[in-house]
Amino acid sequence: MSRPLKAGERLAKSDSRRRAGPTPPKRGGKPAPRKRPGLAGVAGGMFVRGLYRLALVGMVGGVLVGGGLFFYFSSGLPGVDRLRHYEPPLETRIYAENFRLIGALGTQHRIYVPYDRIPPLVADAFIAAEDKNFWTEPGIDPLAIVRAGVVDLTRIGSHERPLGASTITMQVVKNMLLDNRIDFTRKIKEAILAVRVNRAMSKKQILTLYLNEIFLGQDSWGVAAAAQAYFDKPLSQLTVAEAAMLGGLPKAPTNYNPFLHPKRARDRRDWVIGQMQADGFITAAQAREALAAPLVPKAAAGPASIPGAGYFVGAVETQLVRMFGRKTAMEGGLIVRTSLDPKLQAAATRAMRDRLVSYDHEFGVYHGPVGHIGAGELAAGWARALARQDTPKGLIASWRLGVVISETAQRARIGWLDGDSPSEAHTGTLTLAAIQWGRPMIHGRPGPLLRNMAQMLKPGDVIMIEPKPDKGGTVSLEQVPKVEGAMLSLDPQTGRVLAMVGGWSNRLSPYNRAIQAHRQPGSSVKPFDYLTAMQAGVQPDATILDAPFIQRLSDGQIYRPGNYENSFQGPVPVFYAIQESLNLATLHLVRRVGLPNVIANFKKFGVVKHAPLIYPAAIGALDTTLWRMVRGYAALDEYGRKVQPSLIDSVTAPDGHILYQAPDQSCANCMDGSAQQPPILNRPGARLANPDSVYQVIMMMRNVAEYGTGVPAVKGLKRPIAGKTGTTNNFNDAWFIGFVPQMVTGCWIGFDKPRDLGVNQTGGNVCGPAWNQYMKVALKNQPVIPFKPPPGITLHKVTFRDETVDEAFKPGQTPGAQSNPGLVADDPLNLGGAFANTTPSTGSHDFSPAPDGQTPSGGAPAPSGNVDKSLGGLY
């Protein structure tokens, strides 16, 4: 039974029926008639339908226009697949034999680090600073784009830089797929590519590319290089504060460089720390600690400073380019281990510089000041004025740039800095006696002694000095010598180059005189003349004639060489002829064994590539390099085995696989765990000559070092040494090349533009002291190893005049048996013949030299007038 409705309820029910519309008809009845809409209703419906159609058309048009624009901007875009296989340009790093970094090659300083070796702390710092939504966004940040667009509209015409809205993915696209232009079109393309990259690659891959590719200032690309550049640390050792500082750099590396703008850098760092805390990457306690930390950047130490190693590094670079091409050599991230011994390199550089300075102080002239400071600046503060002076090229580590503050007749007060700051100022005394070496030369000799300092120096002169704290606070006057020199030292067993000096300073002149300078070797080629004779069966004590040598040249001129002393000694034994470097005796010997055979040996031992078939060439009138000469002597040291000098031990790719291994460095027992045993190195190399013949030459070269022209080179070195001097016409070039069983070292000294080194400046006198100084360091604590004779060789004492020496004789040879020897070939040179027109000895070996200008017994008449020495070596 239904409850009666109240008045309000009926009204509500009735009202609800009206809102519900017409009542549906009863089953089987007729539908109720519908009311026709009025005029206003019709108009309203048409308007709504019009708006709908217009909206539909707009949507279709927008899709078409948007699609067209998308097609327009996306056409021609680079593919993103190249990022998957992207190999960033990595610098090649060059190491000494002890893995000490000595050089780096490349256009960008970058150290590639894979994702799993990037500390999360470092990645979080960059994400907090550059793209907080990196892990969730689709490659672009729409809200940031809208915000940037609104702000940029308000800046139209203001010439302000547009507000950035780039995500990390967009920065990867900009840096690696597009150019660095900033315009509307480029930004649209950047966004399209960022979305594509985000779909094609994982977030880890994108972040790895970004953190290794981004430029962060200080010539550093990528986070690992930046950690070294700003803190001299690996990534794994960075603190929160240091990581935050790096994370703040991408926005403006120069503006936030802590070396240049420490306050800006700290403010930016603190902002990044705040962002890292806000994003939950670090705790509040970590943030407080990081904010309190001082910002103290520390520049990377860089490659090890090894004096003179620049020439070696340059030679390695040349070889790498030849082996792998310039792109791989400069951008391939190669790990190059070389043969350079840092200790020996420093010793060779010091020895050569000391010798060049000594020569310059004996024969040089003061070149003048390298700069000048005016009287006003000098009075206002010489230290500040000196700090503004440019450091001249060629200033070596022990020297300083100094200024003459004041002077009297006998001494000058000199000021210098120990660094770049005026606070590191020092003063000392330069005496008149210490500058006498620089007085002008007169006819090749030092002029009269200076009477007062003013003859050479004036207040305000900027000069090179070397402080002498152990000598009462005095200083010495220095300058970069005009004379140049080169030194090359290698291990003959492996060919590994241990030290290379290419000149005074690589910064001053990159021209490498050890491998690039083509000079005449003079008498330093004579060991190969005498080797040819030994190969022909000549005995070391065989008699040869030191008498005038006359040869008609192809142009009709007469070649009449002479000895260094302008004298002729008549019959002399072979060992004495090379010991005293007798040109005429050598040429007579060459004539007998055949000039073509001698030149063939020059080429076979690599002394020259091409040589003229003329007699002057046999005594050094040809062009070669120190590199070639040392290579030839190394083959002698190895008893005739070919030696190929090597700078590079191995080259390794960034992924660890070996690209190159030096042939002589393959090891038979290096990987079998026998660490207590010395490595067994495989030693390839063609046989160039019979060991018996080479050993005979080695014993004669020992006489050169112990009794002959090489004495200055071996003074105080108490061990067997074989060597030979070389001095060219007019004393233009000075050489000494010598060896012990475990090391070969060559020295050359001369002027780049050939000119006279000075009267009596022979190879032994000029190069000998430098060779000696270096070898004393190189052979310290090294075992004394004798030159062991090959099987069948016997040693016999032979005497000439008052000198008795040990010489080597082959089986079948007897001392004194070749007063008039026949020649028997003992190797593939097919030498033969006999000494025609050779004067027999008396058999007693009691030879007497002929007086100067007289005819030796049985010899050709001495030439009248001056002897022609224009072709060939002197000594």
748/474 Cα distance (integer angstroms): 33
What token pair was written down for 222? 């990528």
Out of 91, 130, 190, 213, pick the active-site residue. Answer: 130
Q: Which two tokens stand for residue 367?
A: 């070149």
Say how far apart CA 832 and CA 613 lie, in whole Å.
Answer: 19
> Look-up: residue for tokens 């067997």?
720
Contact predicate 853/866, CB 8 Å: no
Task: Please name the helix (run of DSSP H) or strand (run of DSSP E) that holds residue 799, with its range, or none.
Answer: strand 794-800
Decide the pairing of beta strands 733-740 and 722-727: antiparallel
Tell which residue, 821, 263, 354, 322, has the closest CA to residue 592: 821
Active site residue 130: yes
In the beta sheet, which residues pair with residue 501?
A: 487
The two three-digit tokens of residue 409, written as one number: 């007749």
Is-catalytic flag, 466?
no
- Using alpha carbons, select from 456, 262, 462 the residue that is nearest to residue 366: 456
**Measuring CA to CA, which residue among 747, 757, 675, 755 is closest to residue 714?**
747
The answer to whether 212 and 112 have CB atoms below 8 angstroms apart is yes
Tell me, what DSSP letter sits at residue 667?
A: B
β partners of residue 823: 833
Query: Which distant-in-sequence residues (6+ apart) come within 8 Å of 544 by Cβ?
Result: 571, 572, 573, 574, 577, 585, 588, 589, 592, 835, 838
DSSP notation for 578-590: HHTT-HHHHHHHH
Q: What angle do CA 855, 859, 865 make, to 5 degrees?
A: 45
Instruction: Exactly one of 339, 476, 505, 523 is catalytic; name it.
Output: 523
* Separation CA 840–CA 856 (nearest Å): 12
Residues 6+ apart with CB under 8 A from 862: 547, 548, 568, 853, 854, 855
Q: Which residue has the tokens 């002959």?
A: 708
- Give the max Cα distance, the chain: 168
**Strand partners of residue 337:** 95, 650
DSSP label of 225: H
Q: Which amino acid is at 767?
A: C
Cα–Cα distance between 875 and 579 in angstroms, integer? 10
Work out the angle at residue 448's Cα, subtended by the Cα atoms of residues 447 and 452, and round it to the nearest 5 degrees.
120
What is the SS3 assignment for 789? coil
Any idea which residues carry the catalytic annotation?
130, 523
